[in-house]
A and B are shown apart, each in its own frame.
Chain A
Amino acid sequence: NAGVTQTPKFRVLKTGQSMTLLCAQDMNHEYMYWYRQDPGMGLRLIHYSVGEGTTAKGEVPDGYNVSRLKKQNFLLGLESAAPSQTSVYFCASSLPYSNQPQHFGDGTRLSIL
C-alpha cells in the first residue's frame, strides 16, 4: 500500500543544472500538489493539478514547471537550478472534495550548490 511515492529522496545539483522530481500516487486521486518546506516557513504551494492534463500556479511558482500527463503522476521540473531552490519538496494528493485531507509523500531533499 504505497500511497504517495516521491523519487529521488535526495539530490545535490550545481547551479544551472536541471532536474525533474517525480511523484506517483496509487489512490486514484484527482488532485495533486507540489510544496516546498523551508525552515521557519511551513509548507508553501508551488503548483497543483486538478486532473490529468491540467496544472495551475500556487503561491511560489517561479523557477518551476510541472506536468500531469497521467492521472497517477505529477512531475516537478527545475530548468536552471538556483541556490534559493535548496529545500525539501513534498508532493501530496487528494480526492476532489473539500472534506478530504491531502496525503503526503516522504519528501525529496534537494541541495543546490
Chain B
Amino acid sequence: EDKVVQSPLSLVVHEGDTVTLNCSYEVTNFRSLLWYKQEKKAPTFLFMLTSSGIEKKSGRLSSILDKKELFSILNITATQTGDSAVYLCAVGIIQGAQKLVFGQGTRLTINP
C-alpha cells in the first residue's frame, strides 16, 4: 500500500523563526514529490521534486528530496504570519495516469 507520512502534524512558532517540515514516503512507481500550501481553500502548488539532492527555492521557501532514504523536507526561513497554513506533501505515482498520494498535512501556525 502506498503511504506518505508527514511530521510534525502541527507546529507553532514565532514570527522570524525557521521551520523544517518532513515528508517520508513508501510507494511503488515513484515519479515526483510535490509540496502544496493550503490556507482556507484550494491547495496551491509550491514545488515539484524529481531528482535527489537538488534544492528547489522560492523566496524564503526551499525543498530537497532524498530518493535513497525516501524523504523530503520543506524549509521556511524568517517565517511570517502569512506562512500560517496546512502544508501538504504528495507523491506522484504512475498507474494509468499520474496520481497523487497525499500525506496528512502539517498545520503550521506563526504567532506574531
Interface check A82, CB cutoff 8 A = no
Residues of chain A contacted by B104 (CB below 8 angstroms): 40-42
Q: Which 4 A-B pairs have the closest CB atoms?
A: A42-B102, A106-B41, A104-B42, A43-B102
Q: Tell me the interface secondary structure of chain B in the complex.
A: strand
Q: Which of B9, B42, B90, B98 lies in contact with A31, CB distance below 8 A?
A: B98
Task: Pick the most buried of B31, B43, B45, B88: most chain A CB atoms within 10 A of its CB.
Answer: B43
B: number of interface residues (CB 8 Å): 26
B96 CB to nearest chain A CB (Å): 6
Residues of chain B contacted by A98 (CB below 8 angstroms): 31-32, 92, 94, 98
B99 touches A45 (CB 8 A): yes
Q: Which of B41, B96, B100 lies in contact with A102, CB distance below 8 A?
A: B100
